[in-house]
Amino acid sequence: MTTAQENIRAGLSKLKQGLPLEAFAIVGDREDPETWKLPHHTRAIFRALAGKLDIERTVDWDRMPAAVAALSPGGYRGQRVEAAVEQILQAARHLAAHYQKANKELPHALEALIEGEG
């Protein structure tokens, strides 16, 4: 591979489902998209990352209930996201911040996780 090709490849962002790591609530290994879980932003996040849009406007509110459910003990469709407890709590706080910034009611599942009930 030539140096030019290496530079181009190094400059390309890693993506999962067409989204950058910033679109996911859980990121195990920044270099391994297979460890990224709970997408909750639209593709408009690219504009937000470029400073052209407020990142809060890129939250995909249609995906948020599934992301919240996946964090809860009951899981999404009966399956909880596989992640360390600290990652789950960090993701719960992250998603809760989106709800608060949007002045939306916080789902009970997030409240329970943040308060240590879940």
Confidence of residue 12 (pLDDT cuts 50, 70, 90): low
Confidence of residue 8 (pLDDT cuts 50, 70, 90): very low
19 is written with which tokens?
């989204």
pLDDT score of 1: 52
End-to-end C-alpha distance for the chain, whole angstroms: 50
Task: Give the predicted TM-score (pTM) of the model.
Answer: 0.85
pLDDT score of 7: 46
Q: Which of 29, 18, 28 is nearest to 81 (CA)?
A: 28
For 7-21, 30-44, 74-88, 89-103, which range has the lowest pLDDT when averaged over its residues? Answer: 7-21
CB-CB contact of 43 with 83 (8 Å):
no
Q: Which of 36, 16, 39 is nearest to 28 (CA)?
A: 36
Which amino acid is residue 35, in one-letter code? T
